[in-house]
């Protein structure tokens, strides 16, 4: 629809402490850049239409240390295509690769840029954002055939998931964000001793309560089912970082992880599921 207003936006990567992507059906509808003066993304969320707020997933990416490369999938130029699933791959010097986008097995054509300073996107009114370019003083953007890492070869246990992963070695702090008035996890941030931070699931900073664990010796999780009013039975996860195995819910089937290996998290707007492997990412 050519009558829709279109504008370009930029994300100044060097000024960010993190980015929250508001994603629905694999498409990004808004981006909040976390800075020292804009710590939380709730105002950006409230600028979405009421209908869109009901469907978006919050995907938070902390930024600590240098982003050495960024890649984004090239979208087909199809008129009338409202839903545009797109992947972004951020490569950090400290924590490796972070994938933003829906879980998929399909290969895609990507554009890549080393040592990026700005991310550039196009937005048409209420339609999804399309990431179209990036800027670096030293390098130019180029095509690449490299697809984003899937990070986990097993089949997703929930519908239309996003996936995130994080190593558990050399961890100095863990924050577990929970759905308000419940003990079900919504997201986790993991801080590393040598610098760098990763996020799993939905970390809604300034919105959801969290429990902070300093120098954890183990992380324990229990995949379970819970009832949500008006929705029904959903997949959920309980997470604790205890020195012993005296869990609050003694009846749950807990997986207790020493601080090695990799934690994988599938999630969508309402549900979450975790898996642990002792092998590296």
Calculate ∠ Cα 98-29-136, nearest 5°: 50
Residue 210 included in any domain: yes
Asked if 10 and 130 sit in the same domain, the reply is: yes
Residue 215 included in any domain: yes
What is the three-class DSSP state of 52? Answer: helix
Asked if 88 and 24 sit in the same domain, the reply is: yes
Q: Using CA atoms, how far apart are residues 43 and 244, in angstroms rounded to an integer?
A: 40
Q: Using CA atoms, how far apart are residues 74 and 84, in angstroms rounded to an integer?
A: 10
- The CATH number that applies at residue 250 is 2.100.10
Asked if 57 and 128 sit in the same domain, the reply is: yes
Residue 21 included in any domain: yes
Task: With a cut of 90, say whether residue 232 has pLDDT above it.
Answer: no
Q: Nearest Cα to 95, choosing from 193, 20, 187? A: 193
The owner of tokens 């979405």 is: 48
Task: With a cut of 80, say whether residue 280 has pLDDT above it.
Answer: no
Asked if 127 and 172 sit in the same domain, the reply is: no
Q: Can you give the pLDDT at residue 150?
A: 47
Asked if 93 and 183 sit in the same domain, the reply is: no
Domain span at 48: 6-135
Asked if 168 and 270 sit in the same domain, the reply is: yes
Residue 154 included in any domain: no
Residue 145 included in any domain: no
Residue 88 included in any domain: yes
Please identify, among 117, 135, 153, the residue that sits at the C-terminal boundary of a domain.
135
Report the pLDDT averaged over residues 20-46: 94
Asked if 181 and 106 sit in the same domain, the reply is: no
Asked if 124 and 29 sit in the same domain, the reply is: yes
- pLDDT tens for residues 43-101? 999 999 999 999 999 999 999 989 999 998 887 765 555 566 888 999 999 999 999 98
Pairing type for strands 197-201 and 185-192 reads antiparallel
- pLDDT tens for residues 149-203? 545 556 677 888 999 999 999 999 999 999 998 899 999 999 999 899 999 999 9
**Which ranges constitute the DSSP H helices of the chain?**
42-46, 50-53
Asked if 92 and 181 sit in the same domain, the reply is: no
Report the domain count for the chain. 2
Q: Report the percentage of the chain scoring pLDDT > 90.
A: 62
Residue 117 included in any domain: yes
Asked if 17 and 119 sit in the same domain, the reply is: yes
> What is the full DSSP assignment across 129-150?
BEEEEEE-SS---EEE-PPPP-
């Amino acid at each position: 629809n050519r009558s829709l207003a279109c504008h370009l936006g930029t994300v100044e990567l060097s000024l960010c402490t993190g980015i929250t992507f508001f994603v629905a059906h694999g498409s990004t509808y808004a981006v909040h850049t976390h800075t020292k003066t804009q710590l939380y993304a709730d105002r950006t969320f409230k600028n979405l239409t009421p209908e869109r707020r009901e469907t978006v997933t919050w995907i938070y990416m902390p930024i600590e240390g240098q982003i050495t490369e960024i890649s984004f999938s090239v979208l087909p130029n199809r008129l009338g295509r409202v839903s545009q699933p797109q992947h972004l791959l951020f490569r950090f010097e400290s924590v490796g690769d972070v994938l933003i986008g829906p879980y998929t097995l399909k290969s895609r054509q990507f554009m890549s840029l080393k040592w990026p300073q700005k991310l550039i996107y196009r937005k048409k009114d209420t339609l999804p954002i399309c990431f179209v370019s990036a800027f670096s003083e030293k390098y130019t953007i180029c095509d690449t055939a490299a697809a984003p890492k899937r990070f986990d070869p097993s089949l997703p246990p929930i519908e239309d998931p996003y996936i995130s992963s994080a190593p558990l070695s050399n961890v100095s702090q863990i924050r577990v964000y929970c759905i308000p008035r419940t003990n079900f996890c919504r997201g986790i941030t993991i801080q590393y001793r040598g610098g760098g931070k990763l996020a799993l699931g939905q970390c809604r900073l300034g919105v959801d309560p969290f429990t902070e664990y300093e120098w954890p010796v183990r992380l324990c999780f229990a995949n379970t089912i819970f009832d949500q009013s008006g929705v029904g039975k959903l997949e959920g996860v309980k997470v604790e970082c205890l020195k012993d195995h005296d869990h609050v819910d003694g009846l749950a089937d807990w997986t207790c992880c020493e601080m090695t290996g990799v934690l994988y998290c599938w999630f969508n707007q309402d549900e979450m599921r975790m898996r642990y492997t002792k092998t590296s990412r």
